[in-house]
Amino acid sequence: MTALPPPREPGRYSVTIVCLGNICRSPMADVVLSAKLEEAGLADRVEVTSSGTGGFHVGDPIDQRAAATLTAAGYDPSQHLVRKFEPARRSTYDLVLAMDSDNLADIGGADDRVRLFRDFDPVDPGADVPDPYYGGPAGFEEVLSMVERTTAAIVAALQGEFSLR
Ligand code: 4NP
């Protein structure tokens, strides 16, 4: 697994997650990562946001199918509102995670703090999170499973960073 970039300011960390629409994949990752950070006692130190490179759905809630998948798994997706990625903010985060390689290219490509989300996937590192938007419910389940194991690895890395293990 790839290493977590160090915080720019000791004791705090900001993560933003980017997909195309900010209606399916990045909100699912945002909701699950936020819940796991809360459980780990890191919610007040780590800020999580998400956005999309396309502006089609700005201001909308999360996709209903993504919401149903999250709710069935015990998460609360009700607070999400779609935001568009702001290129000027790219360099203001500790870590920017793109859900697929198109999203990564659209935000200007990888660097030390700008990575693929699944660079942190312990099972298949470096792969894309497939876009479930035009598919059926199984696609959302698949995304949730990738998101759960990858966010668990990210939280473990953050716990290491903050020495809470
Ligand atoms: P997301 O999925 O990038 O996971 O939010 C999509 C949502 C909307 C569209 C494409 C992908 N769209 O074309 O509207």
Give me the numbers of helices (H) and strands (E) for the chain, helices first please. Answer: 4, 4
Question: Can you tell me the distance from the alpha carbon of 159 to that of 156, in angstroms, rounded to the nearest whole number?
Answer: 5
Query: Is residue 21 lining ligand 1, measured as CB closer than 6 Å?
Result: yes
Which residue out of 63, 119, 121, 131 is catalytically annotated?
131
Query: Is residue 131 lining ligand 1, measured as CB closer than 6 Å?
Result: yes
Active site residue 19: yes
Secondary structure of 117-140 in the HEC alphabet? HHHHCCCCCCCCCCCCCCCCHHHH
pLDDT in tens, 85-133: 999 999 999 999 999 999 999 999 999 999 999 999 999 999 999 999 9
Cα angle: 8, vertex 84, 60; to 5 degrees: 125
pLDDT in tens, 26-38: 999 999 999 999 9
Supply the residue whose CA is at minimum distance from atom 8 of ligand 1: 21
77 CA to centre of ligand 1 in angstroms: 17
Residue from 133, 140, 147 whose mutation best tests the ligand 1 pocket (most atoms within 8 A of CB): 133
Percent of the chain whose predicted confidence (pLDDT) is above 90? 95
Active site residue 83: no
Residue range 57-61: mean pLDDT, rounded: 97
Longest dimension (CA), the chain: 43
Q: Tell me the pTM.
A: 0.97
Sign of CA dihedral 127, 99, 154, 33: negative
Alpha helical stretches, state H, 41-125: 64-72, 101-106
Residue from 17, 24, 32, 128 whose mutation best tests the ligand 1 pocket (most atoms within 8 A of CB): 24
- Asked if residues 69 and 28 have their Cβ atoms less than 8 Å apart, the reply is yes
Indicate the average pLDDT of the chain: 96
Q: What domains sit in the chain, N to C, each tagged with a CATH number?
A: 13-85+92-163 (3.40.50.2300)
Question: Can you tell me the distance from the alpha carbon of 118 to that of 40, in angstroms, rounded to the nearest whole number?
Answer: 21
Neighbour-count burial of 98, counting CB atoms closer than 10 A to its CB (0-12 exposed, 13-18 middle, 19+ buried): buried
